Amino acid sequence: DTAVSQTPKYLVTQMGNDKSIKCEQNLGHDTMYWYKQDSKKFLKIMFSYNNKELIINETVPNRFSPKSPDKAHLNLHINSLELGDSAVYFCASSSMQGLQGAFFGQGTRLTVV
């Protein structure tokens, strides 16, 4: 199936731990994103990569480090997890610099306890 897929779907971890979320798209898009959706359902951009190059970093704490090994993959590593990091993290991809919208993965629900 053509899609944006991210793993894992659920992640429960303790404060202070380090965790990673992986994302892959097979839509042939050149831009990938990480969005965070908080408990109030507000969807906020964190990072954007275009052809493996970081384009947008929206004042995200440097505990969050994205990595794009190629234009079909974008991973998110989070160090020293805090309670406030609990949210749903969505990976997305687009072509044409987002002019026709972005397509989202199924999300990773991160719970920090």
Partner 1 sequence: QKEVEQNSGPLSVPEGAIASLNCTYSDRGSQSFFWYRQYSGKSPELIMFIYSNGDKEDGRFTAQLNKASQYVSLLIRDSQPSDSATYLCAVLPSGGYNKLIFGAGTRLAVHP
Establish if 97 lies at the interface with partner 1 (CB under 8 A). Answer: yes
Q: Which positions from 37 through 96 interact with partner 1, judged by CB under 8 A?
A: 40-45, 48, 50, 55-56, 90, 94
Position of tokens 């309670």? 83
Q: How far is the CB of 24 from partner 1 (least distance, A)?
A: 15
C-alpha torsion sign, points 94, 98, 102, 105: positive
Nearest one of 52, 79, 55, 86 to 65, comparing CA atoms: 79
Which tokens in the block code for residue 34? 């990480």
7 vs 76: CA distance, rounded Å: 11
Among 22, 73, 104, 111, binds partner 1 (CB under 8 A): 104
Residue 25 is a binding residue for partner 1 (CB under 8 A)? no
Q: Which residues bind partner 1 (CB under 8 A)?
A: 31, 33, 35, 40-45, 48, 50, 55-56, 90, 94, 97-107
